[in-house]
Amino acid sequence: MPSTRDIRRRIRSVSNTAQITKAMQMVAAAKMRKAQLAAVAGRPYADLMNGVLAEAAPRIAAFKHPLMEARLVRKRAVILVSTDKGLCGALNSNLFREAVKFDRNSTVFIAAGRKAAQFISRTRRPLAAEFTYKDAPLFGEARAVSKFVQDLFIKGEVDAVDILFTRFISTLSQRPEALPLLPVGKIHALTTGASGQAQPKELPAHGATTDTFEFEPDETTVLSELLPHGLNFKVYQILLEARASEYSAKLVAMKNATENAMQLIKDLTLEYNKLRQANITKELLEIATAQMAVA
């Protein structure tokens, strides 16, 4: 049975832990707000970019691009977007559970985040490159990741590229999701639904409208620039979604940890008071017994 000194020491230890988790909760709350605003603010531009490509590309039948080349998939690349640190609940575990579904013999991974690199190394999967990104992701960081996989695809080193990340739904809900990145298939205009998911939007059939487009200098040059830029921004938007998911999950995890610590302190304090009261009662009984023996 623990002594009162042991219980006091444990209460002090749990109190220190609660102070740390409370501080981390407040930091996560501040960063979460910024990350959520950035993720939500980027969605309209991504929708508009997809809408422009979806409207323009079908009207140019001769347009072809190396990033649109579909071929038999013998080798696949997967960009795994994770956090750099832990203490964010089951966020990374759920993500890695989806990652193990890819065949390790025909899949090469690109890590975006330290936890992803650690997972790939620990599970002995092939790692092609490792990238990191800041708390507030920069477009240049996303462009570096996108450019790397575009080069792999154009050189024929991989036949398809997917990106696996955690989509931000709400503060209490984040979902791991895998999206195809390359080759670029049929382009759809996207609209963001009430749930935060990107949903395809019906487009008018080619020839059903009299709208005309004027390209300067020419349509092939314009679309050849827009297509890689659209992929770069797609990766950038995914990094924003991943950061918003991370800090939302971290806020919830630290809040739960703080509440659990406070409940544990309450239980230990009750146990301490009971033990202390029992010791006092025992001492009183010993004094009374000694007085009766003397009398």
Active site residues: 88
User: Could you tell me if 164 and 178 are in contact, meaning their C-beta atoms sit under 8 angstroms apart?
Assistant: yes
Q: How far is the C-alpha of 136 from the C-alpha of 252, rounded, in Å?
A: 20
For tokens 């809408």, what's the residue?
51
Q: How far is the C-alpha of 243 from the C-alpha of 141, rounded, in Å?
A: 13
User: Distance between the two ends of the chain, CA-based, in angstroms?
Assistant: 35
Task: Please report the beta strands in the chain, taking only residues with DSSP state E, as ranges in sequence order.
Answer: 76-81, 107-112, 127-131, 160-170, 173-182, 189-192, 198-201
User: Could you tell me if 82 and 111 are in contact, meaning their C-beta atoms sit under 8 angstroms apart?
Assistant: yes
User: Which distant-in-sequence residues (6+ apart) come within 8 Å of 119 by Cβ?
Assistant: 80, 82, 92, 96, 99
Q: How many CA atoms lie within 13 A of 70 on its CB side?
A: 4
- CA–CA–CA angle 62, 69, 215 (5° rounding): 35
Q: Which pair of tokens denotes residue 6?
A: 């042991």
Q: How far is the C-alpha of 269 from the C-alpha of 4, rounded, in Å?
A: 10
User: Could you tell me if 188 and 52 are in contact, meaning their C-beta atoms sit under 8 angstroms apart?
Assistant: no
What SS3 state is found at 277?
Answer: helix
